[in-house]
Chain A
Amino acid sequence: AQSVTQPDIHITVSEGASLELRCNYSYGATPYLFWYVQSPGQGLQLLLKYFSGDTLVQGIKGFEAEFKRSQSSFNLRKPSVHWSDAAEYFCAVGHTGTASKLTFGTGTRLQVTL
């Protein structure tokens, strides 16, 4: 069965510092991978996704993620964090097929200090 691990429950970074959120997955085939962000009391917004091709994926709000098959990882990065980036970040793996269910990680809460 597929699974997603986000080992960091809570991360605090200073505004302007770089950020890397870790995500490891377990899936039997080539995965579809996603990063979503959730602000308090809100739904999820898609930051970026990987299906195939270039393993470095650019997303919205200056985020990027790199798919590393050898490490079963899909870490999210941002070179310079803004205070508005404080939120909950979820990594997810999609099942291949026409009705693609998502399996989510447990999330990483990002706190940004000024």
Chain B
Amino acid sequence: GAVVSQHPSRVICKSGTSVKIECRSLDFQATTMFWYRQFPKKSLMLMATSNEGSKATYEQGVEKDKFLINHASLTLSTLTVTSAHPEDSSFYICSASDAIVGAQTQYFGPGTRLLVL
């Protein structure tokens, strides 16, 4: 149980284009989803928290107009990197918490590696 998927697993795009990453909870309803960014050999940096049907809450220093987050249903959240630039290249990981099991536990997706050329 508590499986989270991400799509795509890796993507390469040209500078200036937008990229959408999907995060799905496969066997539970996720009232809250989180988006993280991880640099090589570094820990996870929380970018934003999203609740279904509400606007995402962004962490300090994260540009909300650049990293658009939508959480339209209890099983799907999307992160769109708009006008991507090489410095946006990173490993993006989502997680979801199960309102029934307990909001305190996050289950992580496998991550999406983004390379912007």
Which residue numbers of A lie inside 8 Å of B, CB to CB? 32, 34, 36, 41-46, 49, 51, 90, 94, 96-102, 104-107
Contacts and interface: CB of A to CB of B under 8 A. Distances in A.
A100 B93 contact: no
Nearest to B99: A98
Interface of B: 4, 6, 32, 34, 42-44, 46, 49, 51, 91, 93, 95, 97, 103-111, 113
Contact of A43 (B32, B103, B110): B110
B34 to A, nearest CB: 7
Q: Which among B34, B104, B108 has the greatest number of chain A C-beta atoms within 10 A?
A: B104
Contacts of B111: 41-43
Given A43-B4, A90-B44, 9 more contacts: A41-B91, A43-B110, A46-B105, A46-B106, A99-B32, A101-B34, A104-B44, A105-B43, A106-B42
B104 A43 contact: no
Contact of B108 (A41, A43, A94, A96): A43
A99 B56 CA distance: 12
B55 to A, nearest CB: 13
25 contacts: A36-B108, A42-B111, A43-B4, A43-B93, A43-B108, A43-B111, A44-B95, A44-B108, A45-B108, A46-B106, A49-B105, A94-B105, A98-B32, A99-B51, A99-B97, A100-B106, A101-B34, A101-B46, A101-B49, A102-B34, A102-B46, A102-B106, A104-B43, A106-B43, A107-B43
Contacts of A105: 43
B77 to A, nearest CB: 14
Which 7 pairs from chain A and chain B are nearest by CB? Answer: A44-B108, A43-B108, A43-B110, A100-B104, A43-B111, A104-B43, A106-B43
A95 to B, nearest CB: 9
A99 B43 contact: no
A76 to B, nearest CB: 16
